[in-house]
Amino acid sequence: MSPTGRFVTFEGIDGAGKSTHVAQSIDWLRARGHEVLATREPGGTELAEALRELLLHRPMSLETELMLMFAARRDHLERLVRPALAAGRWVVCDRFTDSTWAYQGGGRGGPAERIAWLEQWVHGDLQPDRTYLFDLPAELAAERRASARAADRFEREDEAFFRRVREAYRQRAGQSPGRFLVVDSRRTIEEIRKLLEEDIASIGI
Ligand code: ADP
Ligand code: TYD
């Protein structure tokens, strides 16, 4: 892998401010002359975007949901993410496998051993270099979501679901403190923007 490219992911419960800051960070990196692949999960490739449509809008079992998430991820990694990293580009991805641990694991109660197995099978030792976890109490995130957009299948879940998702994220961050930066999303957009710029600068630009 090239010494210049980095794999950066953004995570958090719906409404915590992820999209706002993904966009700002990508603009900031590009303004400094970096080639950035801006992508998202589930999605990124034609096939994975088609799977995203199903995942966000069709009813399905937990098992189907879990396997479709990883199927989308495998296609995305093979066609887009790994080639970009190999070419020395930055990859900024809106959600990755930490979302699966949080939503299918924490939120839906999916079995940890199966998620771990799928994670290993689908991406082996590849993990993001840096993960920004936007952390916000579930009730505040629900308030922010309410004014923002029409809800998909995940966003229609109740507050207890999002409390479990948040807790699973925090646990996951606790297991890899070197990779995660937990961002307190109660801070202002401006404060968070500065903090992210400083951190991105520190990981290799
Ligand atoms: P996500 O992508 O995590 O679902 P968004 O970035 O879409 O969240 O933010 C949800 C809403 O909250 C938007 O209306 C956005 O403008 C607002 N928002 C984002 N960050 C903050 C913040 N730090 N303080 C107050 N409101 C915010
Ligand atoms: P997102 O792109 O954040 O939604 P939006 O476009 O509304 O901001 O994510 C789509 C949904 O997919 C989100 O509710 C979380 C869910 N998701 C999982 O449940 N597991 C996963 O592994 C991933 C990547 C996403």
**In which residue ranges of the chain is pLDDT below 70?**
1-3, 205
How high is the pLDDT of residue 205? 61
How high is the pLDDT of residue 5? 83
Tell me the CA distances in angstroms from 51 to 43, 55, 67, 126, one per residue in order.
7, 6, 11, 22
Whether 100 contacts 148, CB under 8 Å? no
How high is the pLDDT of residue 2? 41
Pocket test for ligand 2, best of 154, 161, 164 (most atoms within 8 A of CB): 154
Nearest to 103 by CA among 60, 154, 144, 58: 154
Position in ligand 1 atom list of the atom nearest CA 147 = 14
How high is the pLDDT of residue 34? 92
Nearest to 11 by CA among 127, 106, 110, 98: 98
Token digits of residue 21: 């800051």
Q: How many angstroms is it from 22 CA to the middle of ligand 1?
A: 11
Q: Give how many domains the chain has, as a whole number.
A: 1
Residue 55 lies in a domain: yes
Residue with tokens 């030792």: 125
Q: Whose CA is nearest to atom 18 of ligand 1?
A: 17
Show the domain range for 133.
Answer: 6-202
Residue 183 lies in a domain: yes
**CATH number of the domain residue 61 falls in:** 3.40.50.300
Q: How many angstroms is it from 176 CA to the middle of ligand 2?
A: 21
**Ligand closest to CA 12:** 1
Residue 1 lies in a domain: no
How high is the pLDDT of residue 203? 87
Pocket test for ligand 2, best of 9, 10, 13, 14 (most atoms within 8 A of CB): 14
How high is the pLDDT of residue 74? 98
Sheet holding 180-184, edge to edge: 36-40, 90-94, 7-12, 130-135, 180-184
Token digits of residue 115: 């998620």
Token digits of residue 127: 């993990």
Nearest to 30 by CA among 78, 89, 72, 79: 89
**Ligand closest to CA 103:** 2
